[in-house]
Every structure is written in C-alpha cells, then in structure tokens.
Chain A
Amino acid sequence: DAGVIQSPRHEVTEMGQEVTLRCKPISGHNSLFWYRQTMMRGLELLIYFNNNVPIDDSGMPEDRFSAKMPNASFSTLKIQPSEPRDSAVYFCASREGAPGELFFGEGSRLTVL
C-alpha cells in the first residue's frame, strides 16, 4: 500500500485566498484524522471522522475551516479565507480501528503571506 497520501506537499498563498488540502487514507482504514503542527502549539487535533462521519470537530479553529469526507477514500480540509496565522504543516492520518496504529501522511506545508 502507498500509505496515506496528502496533496499538495507545499502551498504558498496570499491572505484571503481559499486553500484546499487533500488526503487519501490507506484503503480499509475507517478512521481519518486531520492535525495541524506549529512550533508554538505543537500537534493539534482539528477533526476526525469515523466511517466518513465527523465525530469531533471541536479542534477546528473557527468557521473559516471546514472538512469533508465524501467517501472512504478521500477527505478535504478547506480554509476560506486563509490568514497568515494559518501557516503550519497539516497532517492527515488514518487507522483501521481503535486503538490501532495511526498512520500519518507526509504533511502539507502551508504558508500564507
């Protein structure tokens, strides 16, 4: 298996633009997580899905952030409008079932100017 695949790996955008990050979990995994990593706050859980259903989105910073999982093999995290403070590395992770190993993608590094 190719592992968790994220795109884009790097994105540089200007403040106010819409950003869409994509994730393809490992086939057969039924839980998907979105994390954000910054120097100041470490690794923060933004939202997670179980069987394509959002279970906990309490970590989503504000209404500018939204996440969807239309099917078992695809998820998006959207920021609209983006702000400089959204600059971070965004990780997607998936697992087959609790409490199984969480497999991480390589991350999407977002820079908002």
Chain B
Amino acid sequence: GEDVEQSLFLSVREGDSSVINCTYTDSSSTYLYWYKQEPGAGLQLLTYIFSNMDMKQDQRLTVLLNKKDKHLSLRIADTQTGDSAIYFCAESSRYGGATNKLIFGTGTLLAVQP
C-alpha cells in the first residue's frame, strides 16, 4: 500500500534555511503536497508539485522532487519564528480511475529558535 515517511523533528535558528524531507512509495503518485499545521488548527495547503516537475519555487518555499528515488523536500529560506509548525508531506494516488485519495506523512515538527 501507499506509505509516506518524514523525520519527526527539525530545529533551526531564525534566519537559517530549513529543509524538510519526505519519502513515498507509490510510483503512480500524480501530485505531491506540503501542508502546514499550526497548534490547535487544521492543515493548510502550502504548495504542491505535479509529478512531472522536479522543482517548484514560491517565494521563500522551494520544493524539490526526485521521482526516481521517490523523495520530496521542502526548503524554507530565511526561516522565521512564525514558521514553527508541523509540516506534512502528502501524495495523491489513483483509486478507481480517479486521482482522489490523499495520503499524509507522519508530519515534521519544525521548531525555530530566535
């Protein structure tokens, strides 16, 4: 079955870059996502990448996809204390002919030290 794995914790200093990594197993994944969860809240979409791309940049965020190794990363430049949250990687796999099911990783807690 599909599986998405992430490291559990990352600590960085304010102003440094953060890199959060994710691996997935489903080779038929069509879209890969990064979601952010702040304390006591639901998840919010940060960015996504289509599986035929290898990089996407959106302001301070850079997503890199290595489809051969099934590895996804999220780089946050100039990390701020407001970036402290749990970051989830997710993949969208095919089911019943429709790209519908979204499987999330375990989440990485990013702690930004001032």
Contact of A98 among B33, B44, B99, B106 (CB under 8 A): B99
Q: How many residues of A contact B (CB 8 A)?
A: 22
CB distance from B60 to the nearest CB of A (A): 19
Contact check, A99 vs B30: say whether CB atoms are below 8 A apart. Answer: yes
A4 to B33 Cα, complex, angstroms: 20
Contact A99-B92, Cβ < 8 Å, known A42-B107, A56-B101? yes
Task: Give per-residue flags for B96-108: 1 if the beta carbon is below 8 A from chain A beta carbons, else 0.
Answer: 1011111111110
Which residues of B line the A interface, CB within 8 A? Answer: 30-31, 33, 35, 40-45, 48, 88, 92, 95-96, 98-107
Which residues of A line the B interface, CB within 8 A? Answer: 4, 31, 33, 35, 41-43, 45, 48, 50, 55-56, 91, 93, 98-99, 101-102, 104-107
